[in-house]
Amino acid sequence: MPLLGIDVGTGGTRALVIADDGRVLGTGACDHAPFTSPHPGWAEQSPEDWWRATQIAVKAALAAARVDARGIAAIGLSGQMHGAVLLDAATEVIRPAIIWCDQRTEAECEWLNCAIGPDSLLSRTCNPALTNFTLSKLLWVRDHEPDTWRHVKHVLLPKDYVRFRLSGTLATDVTDASGTLMFDVARRRWSREMLDATGIPAGLVPPALESADVSGCVSEAGARTTGLLQGTPIVGGAGDQAAGAIGIGVTRLGVVSATIGTSGVVFAATDRPAMDPKGRLHTFCHAAPNRWHLMGVTQAAGLSLRWLRDQLGVPSEGYEKLTAEAAQVPAGAGGVLWAPYLMGERTPHLDPDVRGALVGLVASHHRGHIVRAVMEGVAFSLRETLTIFDELNVPVSSIRLGGGGARSSLWRQIQADVYGRPVETVVVDEGAAFGAAVLAGIGAGIWRDVDHASDALIRTTVAACPDPESATLMNERYAAYRRLYPALRMLYAQASFAPN
C-alpha cells in the first residue's frame, strides 16, 4: 500500500512515495520562486507558487515510483511553519504570505508583551512573543493594511493551503498550530483566551487535528490537477520539524535531533509540555497524541553557508569544493568565528535585530578558514540549545543528525566535536516528506502509532565520534563564541543607524 508525503518547504516542494515497509519508491521536487523582501527583514512568498510546485512534484513522484495513483493509501502533508496565508470569503488569497523568517513584527511583539505579559503568554501558549509566529503577522496586517484585514475570513499555514487546494478542506494539525501563538499547547486546542485578548475572531482559524487523523480527501479538482485519485484520504500531517523528527525516529524521551536545513533545529521529544521559563525554547505539540517537544532554532544555519557560497560566486554545485577546502583547515578555523545572525536570532536570544559577524580575520586566512568558521559557528549556535537542555534537565541519550548538515562528512565531524558526543544518522534520511508519509500510514492503519512506525522503519548508524583534542579546543571556542552576542548587541545599541 504505497503512501504519499508532501513537504512544502521554503525553497521548494518535495513529494515522496514509500511502500508500507518504508522503502522509497519515488521522489519528485520543484523549486519555489525565491521569497521576496520588499523591505529589509521582510520575507513573502506566493501560496499559488507552492500549489504550482506541489502539482509538479506529485506528478514527478508518482511517475518515478511507477505506481498507479489509485493504489495510494493516504497522503500526509508537512511544511514550513509560522506563515500567514490570508483568504477572503471566496477563499481566494488576498496578499502574499508572510513567511517564517520575516522580521517586521517587533512592534507587535512589544504590544503583546505589554498588553498580555510575558508570563501570561507562556502560561497560555507555552511560548513567548516572537516575530516569527503567525499571530504577530496577523496583528501587523491589521495595523498596517486595514483594507486587506477587512477582507480576511480564513487564516491558513503554508502546508494547509496546499491541503485546501488538494481537498477543499480548511484544516491544520496541532504541531503546526503550536507555532502560531494562538494555540493552547498544553491542552492541544486553540486558545480562546489569546484570540479574545488580541481581537482575532475564532472563525478565522481552522480546526486543529492530531497529525494522523484524516482531515479530508482529494477533491475532483485536486485529482484533476495532480493525477491523484479523487477520494484519497489526507491526514492532518505536521509542521516540518515534527514531521522531520518522525522521519528520523525522534519520538521518545532522550533521543534528540540536530537538523541543519535553511534554519537549524535541535529537537527533543517529551512526555509533557515542558517549558523553559525564560522562553528561549519553543514548546510545541509533537505528532503523536499526549506527546510534546522542546525545540531551539537557529534562524540561518544552512542559510549561512548558502549565503557565503553566493557571495563568493560559487555555483550551486560548489558546496563540495568549499567544504573540501574547509576540511584542510584544522579545527578552530585559525581563530575565525562566525555569528550566524543573518536573519536575527531565535534561540537563545529572541532578538530580531542582531546581525551576523565574521570575527578574527587576518591576512593569512583564506577561503577555507571562512567556510570552516561558518560551519563551526552554526554548530556552536545549535549547541546553545543543548546547553539549555542541560539547565532544564532534559535527558539527551543520543543525538541524531538530519538535513543537509547530516550529508556533509565535515559538518558531521564538526558537530560531534562541538557537542562532545557521538552523533548518529539514519540509514535512510528523506526528511519531512518521509515523516509526512509515515503519518499517512498511521492514519491508514498500517502502523499503530509513531513508536510502532519508528521501530519498524528507522535504522541508525554512528556517523562521527568526537576527536578528544578537537573537542577540547571546540569547548574553548564555544566559550569565545558565546561572548560574541553581547558584544554585537552593545555595538548596535550604541550605533546611530538601524541594523538593517
Q: How far is the C-alpha of 405 from the C-alpha of 383, rounded, in Å?
A: 14
Edge-first strand listing for the sheet containing 255-260: 282-285, 292-298, 264-270, 255-260, 398-403, 423-426, 460-464
Q: Where are the domains of the chain?
A: 3-242, 249-428+467-500
3-state percent helix, strand, coil for the chain, nearest multiple of 5? 40, 20, 35
Residue 240 catalytic? yes
Q: With H, G, I as helix, E, B as strand and everything else as coil, classify residue 499.
A: coil
Q: Please identify which of the residues 102, 176, 240, 351 carries the catalytic annotation.
A: 240
- The candidate with the shortest Cα–Cα distance to 26, out of 208, 188, 160, 227, is 227
Options 3.40.50.2300, 3.30.420.40, 3.30.200.20, 3.40.47.10; CATH for 249-428+467-500 is 3.30.420.40
Q: Do residues 340 and 301 lie in contact, with contact meaning Cβ atoms separated by under 8 Å?
A: yes
Task: Output the pTM of the full model.
Answer: 0.89
Q: Rounded to the nearest 5°, which phi and psi values hold at 338?
A: -120, 125
Task: Tell me, yes or no, if the two domains 3-242 and 249-428+467-500 fold the same way.
Answer: yes
CATH 3.30.300.30 fits 3-242, yes or no: no
DSSP 307: H
Q: With H, G, I as helix, E, B as strand and everything else as coil, classify residue 21.
A: coil
Q: What's the average pLDDT block by block, 10 residues per block, for the chain (500 residues)?
A: 96 96 96 92 96 98 95 97 98 97 94 97 94 96 98 98 98 98 98 98 98 98 97 97 93 94 92 90 94 94 95 88 96 98 92 92 97 98 97 94 92 98 91 96 96 94 96 98 94 59
Instruction: Report strand pairing: 264-270 vs 282-285.
Output: unpaired
Q: Do residues 199 and 116 lie in contact, with contact meaning Cβ atoms separated by under 8 Å?
A: no
Q: How far is the C-alpha of 485 from the C-alpha of 216, rounded, in Å?
A: 46
Q: How far is the C-alpha of 8 from the C-alpha of 105, rounded, in Å?
A: 24
Give the pLDDT of residue 426. 92
